[in-house]
Copies of this chain bind each other. A is one copy, B any other.
Amino acid sequence: MKAIRFEGRRILPVDIPVPDVKPGEALVRVSMAGICGTDIAIFNGYTHFEGVPGHEFAGVVEKCPDRPELIGKKVVADINIGCGACSDERHCPKRRVLGIRGHNGAFAEYLAVPAINLHPVPERLETRHAVFTELLAAALEISQQIHIHYHDRIAVLGDGPLGILVAAGLRQYSGGVVIAGRHPEKLAIAEKQGVKTFLLKKNTTPEDLLSQLGRFDITVDATGSPQGINWCIPLTRPEGTVAVKTTTSEKSGIDLSAVVVNELNLMGSRCGDMALALDFLETQRVHVEPLIEAVYPFVEFEAAFSHAMKKGSRKVLLAMPG
């Protein structure tokens, strides 16, 4: 089958066998996959994964001995694969992660996934929207980690697809969500979903943000930059929470004294609940169509990656040949 591989800092087209289906696994024919900031971070050295990347996808089940009722069904999948002995796949120290760690991902015609990881996609949900399930689950994870109140003031920093989904998703819990970013056309996507917006200009400083917006109960670093956290810390009220979504290969230089003196919570936040995200998508509580920058046929993966790496681009999707 056709696939692409990360090797060091190269992206290579390869022709490899369709994966074996091991006990407990299903074989999924990939319909569409999304290029994520994490894929680009891996490519830039965030982890040393070598193999088939891709963890945002939707596909159709071809083999599934353990859950035969899923055969022929459109699915998405949890990306974490635990050791099987522990109950916490997301944090199992021996876990594999689709397209990220120890397990080939979705930039291929087929991938093998544990049957228990699969979630059937509701009929009415288009494949190009179902691809966003994993990203939306990660965005909504914040709502499952801390209790968000209607009157909480929330600032989301970063207007990439993740930032927009965090803002639009948390808007379902709080009336006071603001997103700050550098791209008016992307902020407009969030604005249409009830989120207030703040355009960061080249010379905007964290102090400007503070003086114009005041402090927030919750701030979210969805910038993808190691400096994002240092914008969030001064913007968070004493005893408030900074939800950290950014993963980079670089360390962040942080003034911990401000965290201690203001007794802030810096809360790491990663993957979320796929069922919750599918429910949001099916009931259209968030809109992902405006997040699609472009859909490339799989053979044009190089152009797709170049496009995804451009500053300010939204979500680039790969349509598989199947």
What is the CA–CA distance of A248 and B255 in the complex, to the nearest angstrom?
8
Query: Which chain B residue has the least Cβ–Cβ distance from A233?
Result: B268
Scoring A residues 237 to 254 as 1 if CB is less than 8 Å from chain B, else 0, what string do you get? 111000011111101111
Query: Which chain B residue has the least Cβ–Cβ distance from A101?
Result: B261
Minimum distance in angstroms from A65 CB to a CB of chain B? 31
Confirm or deny: A265 has a beta carbon within 8 angstroms of a beta carbon on chain B: yes
Query: Which chain B residue has the least Cβ–Cβ distance from A215?
Result: B93
Contacts of A249 in B (CB 8 A): 257
Contacts of A268 in B (CB 8 A): 256, 258-266
**A255 contact from B245, B251, B257, B258, Cβ within 8 A:** B251
Contacts of A245 in B (CB 8 A): 260
Contacts of A270 in B (CB 8 A): 260-263
Q: Beyond A238-B91, A251-B253, A254-B251, is A269–B265 a contact (Cβ under 8 Å)?
A: no
Minimum distance in angstroms from A138 CB to a CB of chain B? 10
Confirm or deny: A125 has a beta carbon within 8 angstroms of a beta carbon on chain B: no
What is the CA–CA distance of A261 and B249 in the complex, to the nearest angstrom?
12
Q: Are A244 and B259 in contact (CB under 8 A)?
A: yes
Confirm or deny: A46 has a beta carbon within 8 angstroms of a beta carbon on chain B: yes
Contacts of A70 in B (CB 8 A): none
**A256 contact from B145, B246, B257, Cβ within 8 A:** B246
What is the CA–CA distance of A259 and B246 in the complex, to the nearest angstrom?
10
Minimum distance in angstroms from A307 CB to a CB of chain B? 25
Query: Which chain B residue has the least Cβ–Cβ distance from A88?
Result: B238
What is the CA–CA distance of A265 and B256 in the complex, to the nearest angstrom?
14
Scoring A residues 149 to 169 as 1 if CB is less than 8 Å from chain B, else 0, what string do you get? 000000000000000000000
Q: Are A229 and B256 in contact (CB under 8 A)?
A: yes
Sorted nearest first, the 7 A-B pairs with minimum C-beta distance are A91-B238, A266-B266, A259-B268, A260-B268, A247-B257, A251-B253, A263-B268
26 contacts between A and B (CB under 8 A): A46-B257, A88-B238, A90-B263, A91-B238, A91-B239, A145-B263, A229-B256, A244-B256, A245-B260, A246-B256, A247-B256, A251-B254, A251-B255, A252-B253, A252-B254, A252-B256, A253-B253, A254-B254, A258-B268, A260-B269, A260-B270, A262-B270, A263-B267, A264-B268, A265-B265, A266-B268
